[in-house]
Amino acid sequence: MTQATVTTAAYPQVYVPKLAYQIAMPLPQTHLFEVKLTVSNWDGELLDVSMPVWTPGSYLVREYAKQVQDFVATSDKGRKLSVTKTAKNNWRILTSDSSKISISYRVFAYELTVRTNHLDATHGYFNPAALCFYIPGFEDCPIEIEIITPHPDWQVTTPLPEISPQTFLAADLDTLVDSPFEIGTQQIYEFTVLDKPHQLVVWGEGNLDPHSAIEDIKKIVEVEAKIFGGLPYERYIFLLHLSPAGGGGLEHKNCCSLLYPRFNFQGAEKHNRFMQLVAHEFFHLWNVKRIRPAALEKFDYDRENYTPSLWFSEGTTSYYDLLIPRRAGIYDEHEFLAELSKEITRFLTTPGRLVQPLSESSFDAWIKLYRPDANSSNSQMSYYLKGEMVTLLLDLLIRTRTQGAKSFDNVLVAMWEQFGKAEIGFTEIQLKQIMESIADLDLTEFYDRYIHGIEELPFNDYLNAFGIELHPVESNIPYLGINVKTEHGKEMIKSVAANSPAQLAGIDPGDELLAIDGFKITADKLADRLKLTQTGEEVNVTIFHGDRLMTVTIVLEAPQSQQYQLRSLEHSSDLQRQLFKNWVSI
């Protein structure tokens, strides 16, 4: 490696070091990765190493350093070096004039998510942000990663280029963090889209039909590539973990990590949900990984990176993960409207939409979205969900004003051309200006009402131009205002709606529901029991409030709609029908 000098506040006039990792897992059943970092060509009395506290794409400080143990530093002569911890994620090594320092440590890996590390007897998966240190001031240095597998039949999957057997090269820290590793006996399925190689890599067992899935994944890739005018990579990996429960995804520049329940692939609804996940993470290739807010143009791995524009990064992507499978022909227009109706229902039954503005939701992602509590639904609004709703309105607005000649696709293409190709971060003002130029409309009032404000979104004002109306589905269940789930044989109250009859009577999240009017009640029978009552009727609700047995009298209120449906207007014009066709057509 060619030596070069750099000047930083921490290390004035020093040579650029050479960084090489060796990552082993000799006893995978212990869930411990054994990591060795060798820093060569070091010229300094002190060496600071830090572990990221978060990973791009998941906006929460996750404190990855908490899983580090057995940290030891040695010189090139094998002498143990003095180490002092200077911060929660920073270790300072007294080098004793050694130019080559070896750092060894172990990381406990037993959290199966796309953001963390998981190691057991069947495989190893790691997100480098949660496993690897970096040297502050030298984030641009190339990094080698050698993987030592515990069994000869284990193989390595990663988007990084292989420079020798099981040794890979990351151009810099950002590239390393952006490159997850799957190590084991995973199934690898090769396919080609638009003359570029792709892989579907699957760990775990379930009822996935990989060949059927690949056919629909191909369609999604083609539809999204058409929007942006091609694919911005040379090869791509869909890395899928089949899990007992739970799900999610994390985007990377040349791959995505997907987590999905192992037996949730059969049946149209479950298949469609998986394809929406694929569409979402693949869409991030452009929106987030390359088109990203200025606050995320250069990642600070040591602390929160604040932006009010996550609603566009994630919410717009959520809107398109519904639209893309429709354009790909994976489901028809009726299924699309049904899926969109479910999303609108989720939005309109979240009380927090009238409390937290969308831009604030984006900014406060670090302390709120990933840490829900008993009052979250009353006080918070997901920037994913409301961002999806706002993008829907903006898409309909542009289509209406241009009589179908333009859509939100044009906003995305303009953002790609101006910011994404060069990976220049955009500001909130620049995003607004591009949307205004496409819509040929000043969006200040729209922003003030629906992005910075908390006014109700006027869905029908935008939908009617497409011959569609949103209707609440009438309910015959008097309103109590609690959400109950059965846990370990107990009926636990998980949330209580703000200003609901239950809250005003003193019922709290965490209370155990026992009976209504003296008769035992369960979560699955609550709605049926309430159907037997009337608005304004008093009911006696018995609970355990902590360890105290209580019965409170509650006056039930009028039923509230818990479901909304998109329906066609009885009479629509040719223009309305044409706009609708352009919107939902393949």
Q: What are phi and psi of 405, to 5 degrees?
A: -75, -30
Kindly report, residue by residue over 459-513, the tens digit of the pLDDT: 999 999 999 999 999 999 999 999 999 999 999 999 999 999 999 999 999 999 9
Q: Which CATH architecture has domain 5-184?
A: Sandwich (2.60)
Dist CA 239 CA 260 (whole Å): 11
Query: 294-470 has which CATH code?
Result: 1.10.390.10
Pull the structure tokens for residue 285: 């290739």
pTM: 0.94
**Per-domain boundaries in the chain:** 5-184, 187-283, 294-470, 482-555
What is the assigned CATH class of domain 187-283? mainly alpha
Contacts of 441 (CB under 8 A, 6+ apart): 397, 401
Contact predicate 325/337, CB 8 Å: no
pLDDT at 219: 98
What value, to the nearest 5°, has the Cα angle with vertex 429 and ends 425 and 433?
105
Span 407-461, pLDDT tens digits = 999 999 999 999 999 999 999 999 999 999 999 999 999 999 999 999 999 999 9
CATH number, span 482-555:
2.30.42.10
**Confidence band of 1 (pLDDT split at 50, 70, 90):** very low
- Ramachandran bin of 512, using left for φ above 0, alpha for ψ from -120 to 50, beta for the remaining angles: beta
Distances (CA, A) of 334 to 307, 329, 424, 552, 580: 36, 12, 39, 45, 12
User: Is it true that 5-184 and 482-555 share their CATH fold?
Assistant: no
177-217 pLDDT, tens per residue?
A: 999 999 999 999 999 999 999 999 999 999 999 999 999 99
Residues 59, 314: Cα–Cα separation, whole Å? 11
Mean residue pLDDT across the chain: 95
- Residues 147 and 132: their CA atoms lie apart, in Å, by 13
Q: Could you tell me the end-to-end alpha-carbon distance of the chain, in angstroms, rounded to an integer?
A: 51
Put residue 329 in one of left, alpha, beta given phi > 0 → left and psi -120 to 50 → alpha: left
Torsion of CA 278, 284, 286, 291, to 10 degrees: 170
Give one word for 19, left, alpha or beta, with left for phi > 0 and alpha for psi -120 to 50. beta
Burial (Cβ within 10 Å: 0-12, 13-18, ≥19) of residue 559: middle
